[in-house]
Amino acid sequence: MLIDEACVGCIINQSIKVSKAIGADDGLREKLTHAVDDMSKSFSFSNNPPEIAADVYEMMATLAHKTDLYDKVKALSTKKALSFVPLLEDKLAKSKNKLLTATKIAVAGNVIDLAAEVEFDLEEELSKIFHTDFSHNDFSQFEQKLLKARTVLVIGDNVGEHVFDFLFIKTLQRLYPNVFFSYMVRGNPIINDVTMKEAKEAEFDKLCNLVDSGVNTPGFTYDRANQASQELFDSVDLVVSKGMGNYECLSPSHREGICFLLKVKCGVVANSLQKEIGDIICKVV
Q: How sure is the predictor about 13, in pLDDT bands with cuts at 50, 70 and 90? A: confident
Backbone angles phi, psi at 170, to 5 degrees: -60, -40
- What pTM was computed for the model? 0.94
Closest CA to 213 of 237, 241, 255, 238: 241
pLDDT > 90: percent of the chain: 84
Dihedral of CA atoms 225, 230, 236, 242 in degrees, nearest 10, equals 20
Q: Are 265 and 120 in contact (CB under 8 A)?
A: yes
Question: What whole-number distance in Å separates Cα of residue 249 and Cα of residue 262?
Answer: 13
Query: Is 80 exceeded by the pLDDT of residue 178?
Result: yes
Q: Please report the pLDDT score of residue 9 as a whole number.
A: 85
**What's the pLDDT tens digit per position in 25-43?**
999 999 999 999 999 998 9
Q: What is the mean pLDDT of residues 168-195?
A: 97
Tell me: the pLDDT tens digits for 209-262? 999 999 999 999 999 999 999 999 999 999 999 999 999 999 999 999 999 999
Question: Which whole number is the average pLDDT over 181-191?
Answer: 96
List, in order of start, the domains of the chain with CATH numbers.
5-64 (no CATH), 71-284 (3.40.50.10880)
Mean pLDDT of 61-81: 94
Q: Identify the three-state secondary structure at position 159.
A: coil
Give the single-character DSSP code of 193: B
99 — pLDDT class (breaks 50, 70, 90):
very high
> Using an 8 Å Cβ cutoff, are 252 and 53 in contact?
no
